[in-house]
Amino acid sequence: MATEFDNLPFDSGQDYDRESEILKVLGHPIRLKIVAGLMSQSCNVKKIWECLSLPQATVSQHLALLKNKSIITGRREGVEVYYQVTSPEAIRIVSAIFGDSISCK
């Protein structure tokens, strides 16, 4: 007997593990703000903690987790490290949430 759920567009071949992991990491408001801001421009730690009005240590801890989950990467310029979002999954998720209204001012 067929049910109404038999024709739903669930993709059973899709691997949702990576997206699920990213959603868990982005579930914290500070990390979501960091990723949304970094999608508009790459920033160093100082710029990020100034934008968020948070202590440098707090921002560094969140950046470390984002780096460990391969959501962002850092590139060194002299003594400073500039971070940018490199995960296409994270970009897609954050874009779905905020659309074109992403910025770090």
Domain ranges of the chain: 30-98
pLDDT at 2 over 80: no
- Among the residue ranges 4-13, 29-38, 75-84, 93-102, the one predicted with the least confidence is 4-13
Query: Could you read off the pLDDT of 12-57 as tens digits, one per residue?
Result: 666 788 889 999 999 999 999 999 999 999 999 999 999 999 999 9
Architecture of domain 30-98: Orthogonal Bundle (1.10)
Q: What CA–CA distance (Å, rounded) separates 56 from 52?
A: 10
Report the percentage of the chain scoring pLDDT > 90.
73
Beta strands in the chain (DSSP E): 43-44, 72-77, 80-85
| 97 burial type by CB count under 10 A (0-12 exposed, 13-18 middle, 19+ buried) | exposed
Tell me how crowded residue 33 is: count the other CB atoms within 10 A of its CB: 17
Q: So what's the pLDDT on residue 95?
A: 93
Residue found by looking up tokens 């780096």 in the block: 67
Q: So what's the pLDDT on residue 51?
A: 92
Q: Among candidates 94, 90, 52, which has minimal Cα distance to 60?
A: 52
